[in-house]
Amino acid sequence: GAVVSQHPSWVICKSGTSVKIECRSLDFQATTMFWYRQFPKQSLMLMATSNEGSKATYEQGVEKDKFLINHASLTLSTLTVTSAHPEDSSFYICSVRGTGGRARGEQYFGPGTRLTVT
């Protein structure tokens, strides 16, 4: 499978500040990356699909001006939570789509970033 890293693994910030989370595909070039959010004891929620070299596609209800996504290269996508508030505290996870060598569409997840906004 694919190796995906995220940085930072956890972050605490004050309300009103912005936080950038990096997602890197370490062993292959990922044209598509996905950003998910997961609140405690809840299911994964897809926030947006990040496409290299083009604008991200956001899911309904996700504010694109608040959650800025940049997929500037085939190995790096970033999610910036702007003007963070306590309700943005969550577990943010990125994933990359496999190249389909074994199955069509499989996704591999990064280790996640736990954001706490105080």
Partner 1 sequence: QKEVEQNSGPLSVPEGAIASLNCTYSDRGSQSFFWYRQYSGKSPELIMFIYSNGDKEDGRFTAQLNKASQYVSLLIRDSQPSDSATYLCAAHNNDMRFGAGTRLTVKP
Return residues touching partner 1 (CB under 8 A). Answer: 1, 34, 42-44, 46, 91, 93, 102-112
- Evaluated on CA atoms 95, 8, 85, 64, the torsion sign reads negative
Indicate the residue among 28 and 91 with the shorter CB distance to partner 1: 91
Residue 39 near residue 59 (C-beta atoms within 8 A) = no
Closest residue by Cα to residue 57 from 44, 66, 67, 48:
48
* Nearest distance in Å: CB 67, partner 1: 18
Indicate the residue among 22 and 82 with the shorter CB distance to partner 1: 22
Alpha-carbon span 111 to 17, nearest angstrom: 23
* Nearest distance in Å: CB 100, partner 1: 9
* Nearest distance in Å: CB 105, partner 1: 4
Indicate the residue among 59 and 82 with the shorter CB distance to partner 1: 59
- Evaluated on CA atoms 109, 98, 51, 45, the torsion sign reads negative
Place of tokens 């306590």: 86
Place of tokens 């990040």: 50
Indicate the residue among 38 and 82 with the shorter CB distance to partner 1: 38
* Nearest distance in Å: CB 83, partner 1: 26
